[in-house]
Copies of this chain bind each other. A is one copy, B any other.
Amino acid sequence: MRSNFSIVPRAFVLIVALICSADAAEDPLPSWNDGVSKKAIVAFVAKVTDKDSPDFVPVPDRIAVFDNDGTLWCEQPMYVQAVFVRDRIRAMAADHPEWKNQQPFKALLDNDRIALADIGEKGLVEIVTTTHSGMTTEDFSLLVRNWISTAKHPRFDRLYTACIYQPMVELLTYLRANGFKTYIVSGGGAEFMRVWTEPVYGIPPEQVCGSSVKTRYELRGDTPVLMRLPEVDFVDDKAGKPVGIGKFLGKRPIAAFGNSDGDYEMLRYVTSGKGARFGLIVHHTDSEREYAYDRESPVGRLVRALDEAPTRGWTVADMKRDWRVVFPAAK
């Protein structure tokens, strides 16, 4: 009898363990609450990977594009790259005493929000090209690498690279496990992102499309380098996103993920292709765990894409409702 008793609980434990591991294996998106958004994602992946489905998509065509700011990581209270620019200006100010009396630098150094709001696109371009050019691509990467390894989010007091969205990281992994190639298509600087996207998102530099400055091939002694020039090459935002997709990918992806009207044209372009398509908007609705913003926000403004989502068949992921956690657990 004794052996029978001992067998029953062991078998029971085994069955429970099997059920649990099966559950875990079946849920590649544990940070997503069960609901319409998660269901829509899983249903899309299931049909494009099922050879017997009329919506089956061969592996080479399984390309998914992701906006970065506000879609994969936190963009509030200001774009991370804008913080990098501000910190660069501060670090460079010692060598540029004239900036104390020269806009747009003065506004930035004084943290003068009223003057800053007034610098316009010309001022912005001047700031970005000043901080992002006059060095080789490799020196620039080193600057970003050093900065991003210590810079912290002012509210969450964690590295910016830890202010990424855990549910979206799971989504990237899930798509790749199903044969997708995952790309970033962002208004941010390509070379700003390429330094850290591989360790943080599993997206290698060559799968990062972004805005860029022009570069020139030069020799330093006998060593060729690419020198960053103070001239904008490409702005990968709004209608520039589909253009960037054409440049970099040369084909229409089948899934697009964004969070603002800067992603509207990309969402339209991707989801209007033939066959199964998927578009998703991350809607920031959670002021407690992250931020709540859409129509009125200067950063990540979301109006048109949100209004048209229902008729265009785009899934709206409601951060508060759909995400079990927002950021990865602290390490």
A34 part of interface (Cβ distance < 8 Å): no
Shortest distance in angstroms between A211's beta carbon and chain B's nearest beta carbon? 11
Residue of B nearest to A208 (CB): B250
Stretch of A102-110, A126-134, A215-223 that contacts chain B: A215-223
Query: Cβ of A205 < 8 Å from any Cβ of B?
Result: yes
A268 within 8 A of B: yes
Interface-located stretch among A25-33, A72-80, A167-175, A239-247: A239-247
> Does A190 lie at the interface of the complex (its beta carbon under 8 Å from any beta carbon of B)?
yes
A237-258 toward B: CB 8 Å interface, digit per residue (1/0)?
0011011001111110000000
* A97 part of interface (Cβ distance < 8 Å): no
The residue from B137, B191, B217, B222 contacting A239, defined by CB atoms under 8 A apart: B217
A249 to B246, CA, bound (A): 15
Nearest chain B residue, comparing its CB with the CB of A312 = B222
Q: Give the A interface residue count (CB, 8 A).
A: 36
Indicate if A143 sits at the interface (CB-CB under 8 A): no
Within 8 A of B (CB), among A260-278: 265, 268-269, 272
A223 CB, min distance to chain B CBs, angstroms: 5
Complex CA–CA separation, A181 to B206 (angstroms): 10
Within 8 A of B (CB), among A25-73: 60, 63
Q: How many copies does the complex hold?
A: 2
Contact B206 A251 (CB under 8 A): yes
Q: Which of B198, B223, B268 is in CB contact (< 8 Å) with A224?
A: B268
User: Which residue in B60, B205, B233, B251 is a CB contact (below 8 Å) of A250?
Assistant: B205
Residue of B with least CB distance to A193: B250
CB pair B215 A249 closer than 8 Å? no
Cβ A242 vs Cβ B226 within 8 A: yes
Residue of B nearest to A272 (CB): B223
Is A179 in contact with chain B by the CB < 8 A criterion? no
Within the complex, which residue of B194, B242, B249 is in contact with A217, where a contact is CB–CB below 8 Å? B242
B265/A217 in contact, CB under 8 A? yes
Contacts of A268 in B (CB 8 A): 224
Q: List 29 A-B contacts (CB under 8 A).
A: A60-B198, A137-B246, A137-B250, A181-B206, A183-B206, A190-B250, A205-B250, A205-B251, A206-B248, A206-B249, A206-B251, A212-B247, A215-B243, A215-B246, A215-B247, A216-B243, A217-B239, A217-B243, A217-B269, A222-B272, A223-B272, A224-B242, A224-B268, A224-B269, A226-B242, A226-B243, A226-B269, A233-B247, A248-B248
